[in-house]
Structure 1
Protein backbone atom coordinates (compact mmCIF):
# COMPACT_ATOMS: atom_id res chain seq x y z
CA UNK A 1 0.00 0.00 0.00
CA UNK A 2 1.35 3.45 -0.97
CA UNK A 3 2.22 5.86 1.81
CA UNK A 4 -0.15 8.84 2.03
CA UNK A 5 1.28 11.77 3.98
CA UNK A 6 -2.14 13.44 4.17
CA UNK A 7 -3.33 10.66 6.49
CA UNK A 8 -0.34 11.14 8.77
CA UNK A 9 0.01 14.92 8.73
CA UNK A 10 -1.01 16.46 12.05
CA UNK A 11 -4.21 18.50 11.98
CA UNK A 12 -2.42 21.50 13.47
CA UNK A 13 0.14 21.43 10.69
CA UNK A 14 -2.68 21.50 8.13
CA UNK A 15 -4.21 24.54 9.84
CA UNK A 16 -1.02 26.51 10.47
CA UNK A 17 0.43 25.46 7.12
CA UNK A 18 -2.59 26.88 5.33
CA UNK A 19 -2.41 30.13 7.32
CA UNK A 20 1.32 30.65 6.73
CA UNK A 21 0.94 29.88 3.02
CA UNK A 22 -2.05 32.21 2.67
CA UNK A 23 -0.44 35.08 4.55
CA UNK A 24 2.89 34.61 2.81
CA UNK A 25 1.31 34.52 -0.64
CA UNK A 26 -0.71 37.67 0.07
CA UNK A 27 2.38 39.48 1.32
CA UNK A 28 4.42 38.53 -1.73
CA UNK A 29 1.57 39.57 -4.03
CA UNK A 30 1.37 42.89 -2.18
CA UNK A 31 5.11 43.43 -2.56
CA UNK A 32 4.95 42.55 -6.26
CA UNK A 33 2.00 44.90 -6.79
CA UNK A 34 3.83 47.68 -4.96
CA UNK A 35 6.96 47.23 -7.04
CA UNK A 36 4.92 47.20 -10.24
CA UNK A 37 3.05 50.32 -9.21
CA UNK A 38 6.23 52.21 -8.37
CA UNK A 39 7.89 51.07 -11.57
CA UNK A 40 4.97 52.23 -13.72
CA UNK A 41 4.28 55.51 -11.96
CA UNK A 42 7.75 56.61 -10.91
CA UNK A 43 10.65 55.12 -12.79
CA UNK A 44 11.48 51.79 -14.36
CA UNK A 45 14.87 52.10 -12.72
CA UNK A 46 13.36 51.39 -9.30
CA UNK A 47 12.18 48.02 -10.58
CA UNK A 48 15.70 47.13 -11.60
CA UNK A 49 16.97 48.17 -8.17
CA UNK A 50 14.55 45.76 -6.47
CA UNK A 51 15.47 42.99 -8.89
CA UNK A 52 19.15 43.65 -8.25
CA UNK A 53 18.72 43.27 -4.48
CA UNK A 54 16.72 40.06 -4.95
CA UNK A 55 19.51 38.71 -7.16
CA UNK A 56 22.14 39.63 -4.56
CA UNK A 57 20.19 37.86 -1.80
CA UNK A 58 19.78 34.75 -3.95
CA UNK A 59 23.49 34.80 -4.85
CA UNK A 60 24.68 34.94 -1.24
CA UNK A 61 22.19 32.22 -0.29
CA UNK A 62 23.54 30.03 -3.10
CA UNK A 63 27.13 30.64 -2.02
CA UNK A 64 26.33 29.88 1.64
CA UNK A 65 24.61 26.60 0.74
CA UNK A 66 27.50 25.67 -1.56
CA UNK A 67 29.99 26.26 1.26
CA UNK A 68 27.94 24.15 3.65
CA UNK A 69 27.86 21.32 1.12
CA UNK A 70 31.61 21.57 0.57
CA UNK A 71 32.23 21.50 4.33
CA UNK A 72 29.90 18.52 4.71
CA UNK A 73 31.68 16.55 2.00
CA UNK A 74 35.09 17.25 3.52
CA UNK A 75 34.38 16.93 7.24
CA UNK A 76 31.40 14.56 7.68
CA UNK A 77 31.20 10.83 6.98
CA UNK A 78 28.96 9.82 4.08
CA UNK A 79 26.75 6.82 4.89
CA UNK A 80 26.82 4.29 2.06
CA UNK A 81 26.92 0.58 1.31
CA UNK A 82 30.65 0.71 2.05
CA UNK A 83 30.42 3.04 5.05
CA UNK A 84 28.05 2.14 7.90
CA UNK A 85 25.93 -0.16 5.69
CA UNK A 86 23.41 -0.81 8.49
CA UNK A 87 22.58 2.93 8.62
CA UNK A 88 22.47 3.09 4.83
CA UNK A 89 19.98 0.22 4.82
CA UNK A 90 17.77 2.01 7.35
CA UNK A 91 17.68 5.15 5.22
CA UNK A 92 17.02 3.22 1.99
CA UNK A 93 14.28 1.08 3.53
CA UNK A 94 12.64 4.08 5.18
CA UNK A 95 12.69 6.10 1.95
CA UNK A 96 11.19 3.18 0.04
CA UNK A 97 8.48 2.72 2.64
CA UNK A 98 7.54 6.39 2.39
CA UNK A 99 7.50 6.39 -1.39
CA UNK A 100 10.46 8.73 -1.93
CA UNK A 101 11.87 8.30 -5.42
CA UNK A 102 15.41 8.68 -4.17
CA UNK A 103 16.75 8.14 -0.67
CA UNK A 104 18.39 11.22 0.87
CA UNK A 105 22.14 11.17 1.32
CA UNK A 106 22.92 10.58 4.98
CA UNK A 107 25.97 11.86 6.87
CA UNK A 108 27.32 11.25 10.37
CA UNK A 109 29.34 13.97 12.06
CA UNK A 110 31.14 14.54 15.35
CA UNK A 111 28.76 16.53 17.49
CA UNK A 112 30.92 16.75 20.64
CA UNK A 113 28.17 15.22 22.76
CA UNK A 114 25.14 16.98 21.23
CA UNK A 115 22.29 14.56 20.41
CA UNK A 116 20.57 15.77 17.28
CA UNK A 117 19.56 14.99 13.71
CA UNK A 118 18.61 17.23 10.81
CA UNK A 119 16.95 17.12 7.42
CA UNK A 120 17.97 19.69 4.83
CA UNK A 121 18.40 20.53 1.18
CA UNK A 122 21.33 22.51 -0.15
CA UNK A 123 22.31 23.28 -3.74
CA UNK A 124 20.06 21.55 -6.24
CA UNK A 125 17.31 19.11 -5.36
CA UNK A 126 19.46 16.64 -3.43
CA UNK A 127 18.06 15.79 -0.03
CA UNK A 128 20.26 15.20 3.01
CA UNK A 129 20.03 13.79 6.52
CA UNK A 130 22.55 14.57 9.23
CA UNK A 131 22.98 12.28 12.24
CA UNK A 132 25.20 13.24 15.15
CA UNK A 133 27.74 10.85 16.63
CA UNK A 134 26.22 11.33 20.08
CA UNK A 135 22.82 10.23 18.82
CA UNK A 136 24.28 7.05 17.31
CA UNK A 137 26.13 6.31 20.55
CA UNK A 138 23.12 6.91 22.80
CA UNK A 139 20.28 5.27 20.84
CA UNK A 140 19.84 1.60 20.05
CA UNK A 141 19.21 0.42 16.50
CA UNK A 142 15.42 0.72 16.61
CA UNK A 143 15.57 4.17 18.14
CA UNK A 144 17.95 5.27 15.39
CA UNK A 145 15.49 3.89 12.84
CA UNK A 146 12.77 6.12 14.32
CA UNK A 147 15.03 9.18 14.17
CA UNK A 148 15.86 8.45 10.53
CA UNK A 149 12.14 8.06 9.84
CA UNK A 150 11.46 11.39 11.53
CA UNK A 151 14.01 13.18 9.34
CA UNK A 152 12.69 11.43 6.24
CA UNK A 153 9.31 12.80 7.31
CA UNK A 154 10.50 16.37 6.73
CA UNK A 155 11.35 15.43 3.16
CA UNK A 156 8.24 13.42 2.35
CA UNK A 157 5.98 16.06 3.96
CA UNK A 158 7.48 18.77 1.73
CA UNK A 159 8.73 20.90 4.62
CA UNK A 160 11.88 21.83 2.70
CA UNK A 161 10.43 22.05 -0.79
CA UNK A 162 10.50 25.16 -2.92
CA UNK A 163 8.65 27.32 -3.79
CA UNK A 164 6.37 26.60 -0.84
CA UNK A 165 9.02 27.36 1.78
CA UNK A 166 9.73 30.68 0.06
CA UNK A 167 6.05 31.55 -0.22
CA UNK A 168 5.50 30.80 3.49
CA UNK A 169 8.44 32.93 4.64
CA UNK A 170 6.48 36.13 5.50
CA UNK A 171 3.92 34.06 7.39
CA UNK A 172 6.65 32.37 9.43
CA UNK A 173 7.89 35.74 10.64
CA UNK A 174 4.57 36.49 12.34
CA UNK A 175 5.05 36.05 16.12
CA UNK A 176 3.76 32.73 17.48
CA UNK A 177 2.40 31.54 14.12
CA UNK A 178 5.81 30.49 12.82
CA UNK A 179 6.56 28.69 16.08
CA UNK A 180 3.18 26.94 16.07
CA UNK A 181 3.72 25.74 12.51
CA UNK A 182 7.19 24.46 13.41
CA UNK A 183 5.88 22.53 16.41
CA UNK A 184 3.10 20.98 14.32
CA UNK A 185 5.61 19.86 11.70
CA UNK A 186 7.61 18.06 14.37
CA UNK A 187 4.51 16.20 15.52
CA UNK A 188 3.85 15.13 11.94
CA UNK A 189 7.40 13.86 11.55
CA UNK A 190 7.17 11.94 14.83
CA UNK A 191 4.24 10.08 13.28
CA UNK A 192 6.25 9.37 10.14
CA UNK A 193 9.08 8.11 12.33
CA UNK A 194 6.68 5.68 13.96
CA UNK A 195 5.48 4.49 10.54
CA UNK A 196 9.08 3.79 9.51
CA UNK A 197 10.04 2.24 12.83
CA UNK A 198 6.88 0.19 13.34
CA UNK A 199 7.81 0.02 17.02
CA UNK A 200 5.88 2.29 19.40
CA UNK A 201 8.10 1.64 22.41
CA UNK A 202 11.32 2.38 20.53
CA UNK A 203 9.75 5.47 18.99
CA UNK A 204 8.68 6.85 22.35
CA UNK A 205 12.00 6.07 24.04
CA UNK A 206 13.86 7.66 21.12
CA UNK A 207 12.02 10.89 21.91
CA UNK A 208 12.68 10.40 25.60
CA UNK A 209 16.41 10.06 24.87
CA UNK A 210 16.40 13.71 23.82
CA UNK A 211 15.67 14.52 27.45
CA UNK A 212 17.69 11.73 29.06
CA UNK A 213 20.78 11.64 26.83
CA UNK A 214 22.30 8.69 28.68
CA UNK A 215 23.35 5.56 26.82
CA UNK A 216 23.72 3.71 30.13
CA UNK A 217 20.10 4.44 31.09
CA UNK A 218 18.76 3.72 27.60
CA UNK A 219 17.38 0.23 28.30
CA UNK A 220 15.82 1.36 31.60
CA UNK A 221 13.67 4.13 30.16
CA UNK A 222 9.95 3.97 30.87
CA UNK A 223 8.06 6.07 28.30
CA UNK A 224 4.78 5.66 30.20
CA UNK A 225 6.26 7.27 33.30
CA UNK A 226 7.83 10.01 31.20
CA UNK A 227 4.52 10.63 29.47
CA UNK A 228 2.84 11.08 32.85
CA UNK A 229 5.24 13.96 33.55
CA UNK A 230 3.38 16.03 30.98
CA UNK A 231 0.48 16.32 33.42
CA UNK A 232 2.85 17.90 35.94
CA UNK A 233 3.80 20.83 33.70
CA UNK A 234 2.31 24.04 35.19
CA UNK A 235 -0.47 25.16 32.87
CA UNK A 236 0.31 28.89 32.66
CA UNK A 237 4.12 28.68 32.65
CA UNK A 238 3.95 25.69 30.32
CA UNK A 239 1.72 27.60 27.93
CA UNK A 240 4.11 30.55 27.66
CA UNK A 241 7.13 28.29 27.25
CA UNK A 242 5.30 26.42 24.52
CA UNK A 243 4.18 29.37 22.39
CA UNK A 244 7.75 30.71 22.16
CA UNK A 245 9.28 27.34 21.27
CA UNK A 246 9.90 25.87 17.82
CA UNK A 247 9.62 22.34 19.22
CA UNK A 248 6.96 20.69 21.39
CA UNK A 249 8.17 19.78 24.85
CA UNK A 250 9.57 16.25 25.05
CA UNK A 251 6.87 14.93 27.37
CA UNK A 252 4.16 16.22 25.04
CA UNK A 253 5.77 14.59 22.00
CA UNK A 254 5.77 11.21 23.68
CA UNK A 255 2.15 11.65 24.78
CA UNK A 256 1.06 12.87 21.33
CA UNK A 257 2.64 9.88 19.62
CA UNK A 258 0.87 7.50 22.00
CA UNK A 259 -2.46 9.26 21.47
CA UNK A 260 -2.15 9.04 17.68
CA UNK A 261 -1.18 5.38 17.75
CA UNK A 262 -3.99 4.52 20.13
CA UNK A 263 -6.49 6.45 18.00
CA UNK A 264 -5.50 4.37 14.98
CA UNK A 265 -5.82 1.10 16.82
CA UNK A 266 -8.82 2.11 18.92
CA UNK A 267 -7.23 1.02 22.20
CA UNK A 268 -6.84 3.02 25.42
CA UNK A 269 -3.49 4.21 26.64
CA UNK A 270 -1.45 1.62 28.48
CA UNK A 271 -0.96 2.18 32.21
CA UNK A 272 2.45 3.12 33.48
CA UNK A 273 4.66 0.23 34.49
CA UNK A 274 7.41 0.22 37.10
CA UNK A 275 10.86 1.03 35.81
CA UNK A 276 13.02 -2.07 35.45
CA UNK A 277 16.52 -1.92 36.77
CA UNK A 278 19.50 -2.92 34.76
CA UNK A 279 22.36 -1.52 32.80
CA UNK A 280 22.87 -1.00 29.12
CA UNK A 281 26.19 -0.26 27.49
CA UNK A 282 26.42 2.41 24.81
CA UNK A 283 25.67 1.33 21.24
CA UNK A 284 28.56 2.49 19.05
CA UNK A 285 28.08 2.48 15.29
Structure 2
Protein backbone atom coordinates (compact mmCIF):
# COMPACT_ATOMS: atom_id res chain seq x y z
CA UNK A 1 0.00 0.00 0.00
CA UNK A 2 1.34 3.42 -0.98
CA UNK A 3 2.39 5.81 1.74
CA UNK A 4 -0.10 8.72 1.68
CA UNK A 5 2.56 11.17 2.87
CA UNK A 6 5.01 10.13 0.20
CA UNK A 7 2.27 10.38 -2.43
CA UNK A 8 1.42 13.96 -1.43
CA UNK A 9 3.24 16.46 -3.71
CA UNK A 10 3.55 18.92 -0.81
CA UNK A 11 5.01 16.29 1.48
CA UNK A 12 7.58 15.39 -1.19
CA UNK A 13 8.95 18.95 -0.86
CA UNK A 14 9.54 18.61 2.87
CA UNK A 15 10.93 20.26 4.86
CA UNK A 16 8.98 23.47 4.21
CA UNK A 17 10.22 26.88 5.26
CA UNK A 18 8.73 30.37 5.34
CA UNK A 19 10.38 32.36 2.50
CA UNK A 20 11.43 35.16 4.85
CA UNK A 21 13.11 32.92 7.43
CA UNK A 22 16.48 32.36 5.77
CA UNK A 23 17.07 36.02 4.75
CA UNK A 24 16.22 37.11 8.31
CA UNK A 25 18.47 34.40 9.72
CA UNK A 26 21.40 35.57 7.57
CA UNK A 27 20.88 39.16 8.71
CA UNK A 28 20.81 38.03 12.34
CA UNK A 29 24.01 35.99 11.93
CA UNK A 30 25.81 39.04 10.49
CA UNK A 31 24.57 41.16 13.39
CA UNK A 32 25.62 38.45 15.83
CA UNK A 33 29.25 38.48 14.68
CA UNK A 34 29.25 42.28 14.59
CA UNK A 35 28.06 42.33 18.21
CA UNK A 36 30.72 39.76 19.16
CA UNK A 37 33.42 41.89 17.52
CA UNK A 38 32.27 44.95 19.47
CA UNK A 39 32.23 43.01 22.75
CA UNK A 40 35.73 41.67 22.17
CA UNK A 41 36.93 45.18 21.34
CA UNK A 42 35.51 46.47 24.62
CA UNK A 43 37.50 43.83 26.48
CA UNK A 44 40.73 44.08 24.48
CA UNK A 45 41.04 47.83 23.96
CA UNK A 46 39.50 51.18 24.82
CA UNK A 47 38.91 52.27 21.23
CA UNK A 48 35.12 52.18 21.47
CA UNK A 49 34.91 53.63 24.97
CA UNK A 50 34.22 57.40 24.93
CA UNK A 51 37.38 59.33 25.85
CA UNK A 52 35.65 61.06 28.75
CA UNK A 53 34.98 57.67 30.40
CA UNK A 54 38.42 56.12 29.98
CA UNK A 55 40.24 55.52 33.23
CA UNK A 56 37.04 55.95 35.25
CA UNK A 57 34.73 53.48 36.95
CA UNK A 58 32.50 53.66 33.88
CA UNK A 59 35.21 52.01 31.77
CA UNK A 60 35.36 49.11 34.20
CA UNK A 61 31.56 48.89 34.16
CA UNK A 62 31.43 48.78 30.37
CA UNK A 63 34.06 46.04 30.29
CA UNK A 64 32.20 44.02 32.93
CA UNK A 65 28.95 44.29 30.97
CA UNK A 66 30.71 43.21 27.76
CA UNK A 67 32.22 40.22 29.53
CA UNK A 68 28.86 39.22 30.98
CA UNK A 69 27.20 39.35 27.56
CA UNK A 70 29.95 37.21 26.03
CA UNK A 71 29.18 34.55 28.65
CA UNK A 72 25.76 34.06 27.04
CA UNK A 73 27.35 31.58 24.59
CA UNK A 74 28.78 29.15 27.17
CA UNK A 75 25.64 29.63 29.28
CA UNK A 76 23.55 28.31 26.39
CA UNK A 77 25.59 25.10 26.33
CA UNK A 78 25.18 24.58 30.07
CA UNK A 79 21.43 25.30 30.05
CA UNK A 80 20.86 22.81 27.22
CA UNK A 81 22.51 20.01 29.18
CA UNK A 82 20.73 20.85 32.44
CA UNK A 83 17.35 21.01 30.67
CA UNK A 84 17.72 17.55 29.14
CA UNK A 85 18.89 16.08 32.44
CA UNK A 86 15.80 17.54 34.12
CA UNK A 87 13.48 16.14 31.46
CA UNK A 88 15.04 12.69 31.73
CA UNK A 89 14.46 12.73 35.48
CA UNK A 90 10.90 14.06 35.57
CA UNK A 91 9.14 12.93 32.35
CA UNK A 92 8.01 9.63 30.84
CA UNK A 93 10.02 8.55 27.81
CA UNK A 94 7.82 7.03 25.11
CA UNK A 95 8.77 3.97 23.12
CA UNK A 96 7.31 1.24 20.94
CA UNK A 97 5.75 -0.24 24.09
CA UNK A 98 5.09 3.01 26.02
CA UNK A 99 2.24 4.78 24.15
CA UNK A 100 3.24 3.02 20.91
CA UNK A 101 0.79 4.93 18.67
CA UNK A 102 2.32 8.27 19.60
CA UNK A 103 5.84 6.97 19.23
CA UNK A 104 4.97 5.50 15.83
CA UNK A 105 3.88 8.95 14.62
CA UNK A 106 7.21 10.44 15.67
CA UNK A 107 9.08 7.58 14.02
CA UNK A 108 7.14 7.99 10.75
CA UNK A 109 7.47 11.78 10.68
CA UNK A 110 11.19 11.63 11.46
CA UNK A 111 11.69 9.26 8.53
CA UNK A 112 9.65 11.49 6.22
CA UNK A 113 11.56 14.63 7.23
CA UNK A 114 14.93 12.88 7.12
CA UNK A 115 15.64 13.30 10.84
CA UNK A 116 18.07 10.60 11.98
CA UNK A 117 18.07 9.09 14.50
CA UNK A 118 14.47 9.38 15.65
CA UNK A 119 14.33 12.00 18.43
CA UNK A 120 13.41 10.88 21.92
CA UNK A 121 9.83 11.71 22.91
CA UNK A 122 8.85 12.59 26.48
CA UNK A 123 5.52 13.09 28.19
CA UNK A 124 5.76 15.57 31.06
CA UNK A 125 3.51 17.11 33.68
CA UNK A 126 2.82 20.62 32.45
CA UNK A 127 0.99 21.70 35.61
CA UNK A 128 -1.97 22.86 33.57
CA UNK A 129 0.04 24.30 30.67
CA UNK A 130 -0.82 23.33 27.09
CA UNK A 131 2.64 23.14 25.58
CA UNK A 132 5.13 21.15 23.56
CA UNK A 133 8.70 21.92 22.57
CA UNK A 134 11.69 20.48 20.75
CA UNK A 135 15.23 20.75 22.08
CA UNK A 136 18.72 19.34 21.80
CA UNK A 137 21.59 18.71 24.16
CA UNK A 138 25.14 18.31 22.95
CA UNK A 139 25.37 18.11 19.18
CA UNK A 140 22.97 15.27 18.33
CA UNK A 141 20.64 14.44 21.26
CA UNK A 142 17.37 15.72 19.84
CA UNK A 143 14.16 15.28 21.79
CA UNK A 144 10.54 16.44 21.91
CA UNK A 145 8.54 17.11 25.08
CA UNK A 146 4.74 17.00 25.09
CA UNK A 147 2.89 18.11 28.21
CA UNK A 148 0.31 15.80 29.69
CA UNK A 149 -2.42 18.43 29.40
CA UNK A 150 -1.93 18.85 25.67
CA UNK A 151 -1.58 15.11 25.20
CA UNK A 152 -4.71 14.25 27.19
CA UNK A 153 -6.89 16.81 25.42
CA UNK A 154 -5.90 15.66 21.94
CA UNK A 155 -5.01 11.98 22.03
CA UNK A 156 -8.40 10.45 22.76
CA UNK A 157 -10.60 12.84 20.80
CA UNK A 158 -8.38 14.00 17.97
CA UNK A 159 -5.17 12.13 17.30
CA UNK A 160 -4.66 14.25 14.19
CA UNK A 161 -4.21 17.30 16.42
CA UNK A 162 -1.50 15.49 18.35
CA UNK A 163 0.19 14.48 15.12
CA UNK A 164 0.20 18.08 13.89
CA UNK A 165 1.88 19.21 17.11
CA UNK A 166 4.47 16.45 16.81
CA UNK A 167 5.10 17.30 13.16
CA UNK A 168 5.55 20.96 14.10
CA UNK A 169 8.12 20.12 16.77
CA UNK A 170 10.01 17.76 14.49
CA UNK A 171 10.09 20.61 12.00
CA UNK A 172 12.14 22.60 14.51
CA UNK A 173 14.65 19.75 14.65
CA UNK A 174 14.78 19.21 10.89
CA UNK A 175 15.25 22.94 10.20
CA UNK A 176 18.07 23.03 12.79
CA UNK A 177 16.28 25.53 15.04
CA UNK A 178 17.40 23.61 18.13
CA UNK A 179 20.91 22.76 16.92
CA UNK A 180 23.81 24.01 19.01
CA UNK A 181 25.53 25.75 16.09
CA UNK A 182 22.28 27.53 15.18
CA UNK A 183 21.82 28.87 18.69
CA UNK A 184 25.45 29.93 18.99
CA UNK A 185 25.45 31.96 15.76
CA UNK A 186 22.37 33.79 17.07
CA UNK A 187 23.20 33.92 20.78
CA UNK A 188 23.69 37.71 20.88
CA UNK A 189 21.55 39.02 18.02
CA UNK A 190 18.49 37.08 19.18
CA UNK A 191 18.48 39.32 22.26
CA UNK A 192 17.81 42.39 20.10
CA UNK A 193 14.22 43.59 20.71
CA UNK A 194 11.85 43.15 17.76
CA UNK A 195 14.44 41.40 15.55
CA UNK A 196 14.82 38.34 17.79
CA UNK A 197 11.07 37.78 18.16
CA UNK A 198 10.57 38.36 14.42
CA UNK A 199 12.89 35.48 13.52
CA UNK A 200 11.22 33.36 16.19
CA UNK A 201 7.79 33.96 14.64
CA UNK A 202 9.11 33.04 11.20
CA UNK A 203 10.44 29.78 12.63
CA UNK A 204 6.98 29.02 14.02
CA UNK A 205 5.39 29.68 10.63
CA UNK A 206 7.92 27.34 9.01
CA UNK A 207 7.23 24.55 11.48
CA UNK A 208 3.47 25.02 11.18
CA UNK A 209 3.85 24.29 7.47
CA UNK A 210 5.68 21.06 8.17
CA UNK A 211 3.19 19.96 10.81
CA UNK A 212 0.25 20.61 8.50
CA UNK A 213 1.96 18.93 5.54
CA UNK A 214 2.49 15.83 7.68
CA UNK A 215 -1.05 15.91 9.16
CA UNK A 216 -3.52 17.90 7.08
CA UNK A 217 -6.40 17.26 9.52
CA UNK A 218 -4.53 18.45 12.59
CA UNK A 219 -5.88 21.97 12.93
CA UNK A 220 -7.52 21.11 16.27
CA UNK A 221 -4.00 21.24 17.69
CA UNK A 222 -3.98 25.00 17.04
CA UNK A 223 -7.66 25.45 17.85
CA UNK A 224 -6.96 23.97 21.28
CA UNK A 225 -4.23 26.55 21.89
CA UNK A 226 -6.67 29.28 20.86
CA UNK A 227 -9.90 28.31 22.61
CA UNK A 228 -8.65 26.20 25.51
CA UNK A 229 -9.29 22.64 26.53
CA UNK A 230 -12.98 22.92 27.39
CA UNK A 231 -14.32 24.57 24.23
CA UNK A 232 -11.95 23.58 21.42
CA UNK A 233 -14.20 20.75 20.22
CA UNK A 234 -17.16 23.07 19.70
CA UNK A 235 -15.41 25.95 17.91
CA UNK A 236 -16.63 26.70 14.38
CA UNK A 237 -13.32 26.49 12.59
CA UNK A 238 -14.57 28.29 9.47
CA UNK A 239 -15.40 31.35 11.57
CA UNK A 240 -12.03 31.15 13.31
CA UNK A 241 -10.28 31.06 9.94
CA UNK A 242 -12.27 34.09 8.82
CA UNK A 243 -11.29 35.84 12.06
CA UNK A 244 -7.64 35.19 11.25
CA UNK A 245 -8.07 36.48 7.71
CA UNK A 246 -9.43 39.80 8.98
CA UNK A 247 -6.94 40.14 11.82
CA UNK A 248 -4.88 43.26 11.21
CA UNK A 249 -4.41 46.90 12.03
CA UNK A 250 -1.75 49.08 13.56
CA UNK A 251 -2.14 47.99 17.19
CA UNK A 252 -2.44 44.31 16.26
CA UNK A 253 0.93 44.47 14.53
CA UNK A 254 2.55 46.61 17.23
CA UNK A 255 1.43 44.29 20.02
CA UNK A 256 2.86 41.29 18.17
CA UNK A 257 6.38 42.74 17.82
CA UNK A 258 7.76 41.43 21.15
CA UNK A 259 6.02 38.05 20.88
CA UNK A 260 7.95 34.87 20.04
CA UNK A 261 4.88 33.24 18.44
CA UNK A 262 2.48 34.63 15.83
CA UNK A 263 -1.17 35.18 16.72
CA UNK A 264 -2.73 31.73 16.83
CA UNK A 265 -5.76 32.64 14.72
CA UNK A 266 -3.38 34.01 12.09
CA UNK A 267 -1.40 30.77 12.13
CA UNK A 268 -4.58 28.82 11.42
CA UNK A 269 -5.56 31.18 8.61
CA UNK A 270 -2.10 31.02 6.99
CA UNK A 271 -2.23 27.24 6.81
CA UNK A 272 -5.67 27.37 5.18
CA UNK A 273 -4.44 30.06 2.82
CA UNK A 274 -1.59 27.78 1.77
CA UNK A 275 -4.00 24.88 1.31
CA UNK A 276 -2.17 22.75 3.89
CA UNK A 277 -5.27 22.45 6.08
CA UNK A 278 -7.61 22.65 3.12
CA UNK A 279 -9.86 25.62 2.33
CA UNK A 280 -12.31 26.65 5.04
CA UNK A 281 -15.91 27.54 4.20
CA UNK A 282 -15.26 31.27 4.34
CA UNK A 283 -12.05 31.21 2.33
CA UNK A 284 -12.60 31.96 -1.34
CA UNK A 285 -10.21 31.12 -4.14
CA UNK A 286 -9.03 34.69 -4.53
CA UNK A 287 -7.82 34.90 -0.97
CA UNK A 288 -6.20 31.47 -1.11
CA UNK A 289 -4.15 32.51 -4.11
CA UNK A 290 -2.68 35.57 -2.39
CA UNK A 291 0.96 35.33 -1.28
CA UNK A 292 1.52 34.49 2.36
CA UNK A 293 3.47 37.03 4.41
Instruction: Give TM class, smaller chain.
Output: 0.7 to 0.9
Deviation digits for residues 170-221 of structure 1 (CA, Å, limit 9, x no counterpart): 2212221111111111000000101221x2xx33222111011225642x33
TM-aligned CA deviation for residue 142 of structure 1: 0.8
Question: 3-state DSSP class of the match of 1:128?
Answer: strand
Deviation digits for residues 97-146 of structure 1 (CA, Å, limit 9, x no counterpart): 10111111010011122111001112442001000111111112111000
TM-aligned CA deviation for residue 252 of structure 1: 0.4
Give the Cα–Cα distance (whole angstroms) in 1 for the partners of residues 68 and 255 of structure 2: 37
Q: Kindly indicate whether the alpha-carbon contact (under 8 Å) linking 1:28 and 1:167 is maintained by their aligned counterparts in 2.
A: no
TM-aligned CA deviation for residue 61 of structure 1: 4.8
Q: Give the one of 76, 96, 119 matched to 2:134.
A: 119
TM-score by length of 1: 0.78
Q: Give the one of 25, 28, 51 matched to 2:33.
A: 25
Q: Kindly tell me the number of residue pairs found equivalent between the two proteins.
A: 256
Deviation digits for residues 41-97 of structure 1 (CA, Å, limit 9, x no counterpart): xxxxxxxx99x9799766655554443333222210001112111111011001001
Determine the structure 2 residue equivalent to 1:14: 22
1:14-163 aligned at under 5 Å gives the runs: 14-32=22-40, 61-139=76-154, 140-163=158-181
TM-score by length of 2: 0.76
CA RMSD of aligned residues (A): 3.2
Give the Cα–Cα distance (whole angstroms) in 2 for the partners of residues 67 and 149 of structure 1: 25
Question: 3-state DSSP class of the match of 2:219?
Answer: helix
Give the Cα–Cα distance (whole angstroms) in 2 for the partners of residues 56 and 272 of structure 1: 51
Give the Cα–Cα distance (whole angstroms) in 2 for the partners of residues 272 and 245 of structure 1: 28
Question: 3-state DSSP class of the match of 1:15?
Answer: helix
Determine the structure 1 residue equivalent to 2:282: 272
Question: 3-state DSSP class of the match of 2:129?
Answer: coil
Determine the structure 2 residue equivalent to 1:241: 255
Give the Cα–Cα distance (whole angstroms) in 2 for the partners of residues 203 and 141 of structure 1: 8
Higher-helix-fraction structure: 1
Give the Cα–Cα distance (whole angstroms) in 1 for the partners of residues 118 and 230 of structure 2: 28
Deviation digits for residues 225-262 of structure 1 (CA, Å, limit 9, x no counterpart): 10111255461221111112111101100011111227
Determine the structure 2 residue equivalent to 1:192: 210
Determine the structure 2 residue equivalent to 1:278: none
Question: 3-state DSSP class of the match of 1:238?
Answer: helix
Give the Cα–Cα distance (whole angstroms) in 2 for the partners of residues 12 and 58 of structure 1: 26
TM-aligned CA deviation for residue 37 of structure 1: 6.0
Question: 3-state DSSP class of the match of 1:254?
Answer: helix
Q: Kindly indicate whether the alpha-carbon contact (under 8 Å) linking 1:13 and 1:184 is maintained by their aligned counterparts in 2.
A: yes
Give the Cα–Cα distance (whole angstroms) in 1 for the partners of residues 222 and 262 of structure 2: 11
For structure 1, the 5+ residue unaligned runs are 39-48, 274-285
TM-aligned CA deviation for residue 223 of structure 1: 2.2
For structure 2, the 5+ residue unaligned runs are 1-5, 47-63, 284-293
